[in-house]
Amino acid sequence: MATIIGLTGGIASGKSTVSKMLQDAGYPVVDADIAAREVVKKGSLGAQQIKEAFGTEVFQADGELDRPKLGNIIFHDAEKRETLNAIVHPLVKQWMLAEQERHIANGAKTIILDIPLLFESQLEDMVQQIIVVSVDENTQLSRLMERNKLTKTDAKARMASQMPLHEKARRADVVIDNAGSLAETKQQVEALVQTFESRS
């Protein structure tokens, strides 16, 4: 029986870094961000439903979704964000479960589900253990502004669209503190991997 681990964090918390470390350690990672891209590709059911809900103006000339345009709409409008989530989340869940089954069929004993909005989307029941990658709010804000070239106001709006990191950390089984150096984060990941090994 495979163990399903949920990996989450907040925007600019360094979750992707930890995800890559776990992948490098040999664990299959099923990434919700990849799933979210796959389920809204040109010609997909997701793309069709988004077109019906938001109109053709959120699509590029080639028929692919215009993510920045859609992002600007939903980051500042909670109701529209709900509409989009109602379309995308069930499709993402379906895609991830299919990937999970594929890894189980290939003999994987521990599978990581990388889900940025694990708590917001109430997907806790998909996993047996939750790891949260956390940083303090100031670090998160400055990293986000730098990474996405955002103003403080825009960065705060994006952070406010998610559950605060300290709240996620409170609900986690394991917290990886990513406010320090990369080496410190790697040490914590290595300790975590030891606990996976002892279980299998």
| pLDDT confidence tier of residue 91, bands split at 50, 70 and 90 | very high
Domains of the chain (ranges; CATH) run 1-28+110-200 (3.40.50.300), 34-107 (3.40.50.300)
Distance from C-alpha of 140 to C-alpha of 153, rounded to nearest angstrom: 14
What is the length of the chain?
Answer: 200
How many C-beta atoms surround the C-beta of residue 167 within 10 A? 12
Q: At 171, which amino acid appears? A: R
Of 179, 98, 168, nearest in space to 136 by CA: 179
Angle between helix axes 152-160 and 137-148 (nearest 10 degrees) is: 120
| pLDDT confidence tier of residue 79, bands split at 50, 70 and 90 | very high
pLDDT per position as a tens digit, 25-48? 999 999 999 999 999 999 999 999
What does the pLDDT read at residue 198?
78
Of 130, 146, 169, 182, nearest in space to 20 by CA: 182
Annotated binding residues for ATP, written as ranges, equal 12-17
Residue 85 has pLDDT above 60, yes or no: yes
Annotated binding residues, written as ranges, equal 12-17
Residue 146 has pLDDT above 90, yes or no: yes
What does the pLDDT read at residue 200?
56
Confidence (pTM): 0.86
- 54: tokens are 């938001």
pLDDT per position as a tens digit, 103-120? 999 999 999 999 998 998
- 4: tokens are 């399903």
Read off the pLDDT of each residue in 176-185 and give the average, rounded to a whole number.
95
